[in-house]
Structures are given as structure tokens and as C-alpha cells.
Amino acid sequence: MPRLGARPKRGDMIEILRGPYSHWGIYVGKGYIIHLTSPDGTGASCCASSTSAMACLGEVKKELLKGVAKRDNYRVNNGTGTPRPVERILRDAEKQVGKQTLYNLILKNCEHFASQLRYGQARCEQVRYWLRCLLVVPLLHCD
């Protein structure tokens, strides 16, 4: 579980690199992150059923970063924008721990959760990236 780049500070967004996708959380100090996770921890269970429409019930957890990252690399990736005050980020994150909430791979995933806490606005750059790929690549391969 090697860290790439800067040591995380409280309130930082943490990106755990998992091949084609990343998992996200908020670093709260002493080695812990708070993150939204799907029942299986990967989001795959949300796609298992056609009736789920890629949505399921997720849970907000506070766990050791090294336990969540396992052997995957991770890094601080705060993106851009003006963050909310650190104490407010941490307070709001702690209030969510243990709560169950909708988890949707496209509309309400772990990156949306982390950016909502840090910036007050739910964003997901990886969904935007994959949607652009899905829309542009077919146009490049048409006859």
C-alpha cells in the first residue's frame, strides 16, 4: 500500500488507485479515512442486478486507510476548488459514520461523497471521464 506523493493532512481527499477506477475518502487523521462504500466495497454489487439501475444501499465507514487501500497505491488528490474549513469537513464527515445511504455508481458514489464534504459540492471526475469516453469512442469507430 505505497503512498504516492504528499503525506495526507486532515480534510484531504484520498484517492485509492484500483486499476480502471479509484476509490475515494476523506482523511481524518491518525491513519483513518471516512468513506462511502457499497456492500461489497467495490460497487460491483450495485451492478449485479438489472433492477438496481446501478444503485444500492451503501454505508459510510471510518476505517484505517491502510486497511481500505490494502495493496493498492493511494495519494492525496484534492482536485481544484476552494475547500470548506477543515473542522467543518471533519465534523460533517464524522456525523455520517454508520449511516446507510443510496450508493449509485454514476450519481452518488464515493468520489461524490468526498467532494461534497471537502467542497460542499458533489462532483465525480472519473464518471465524467468515463462518460466522455463512452460518448466519443463510438464516434471515432463509425463507418
C-alpha distances (whole Å) from 139 to each of 20, 26, 62, 132 are 22, 37, 42, 11
In angstroms, the CA 132 to CA 127 distance is: 8
- The answer to whether residue 142 is catalytic is no
- The answer to whether residue 23 is catalytic is yes
User: Catalytic one among 23, 46, 112, 124?
Assistant: 23
For residue 34, count other CB atoms closer than 10 A to its CB.
24
User: Catalytic one among 46, 56, 110, 124?
Assistant: 110
Question: What does the block give as the cell for 109?
Answer: 458514489
From the list 11, 16, 24, the residue with the least C-alpha distance to 108 is 24
Contact (Cβ atoms closer than 8 angstroms) between residue 24 and residue 114: yes
Catalytic residues: 23, 35, 110
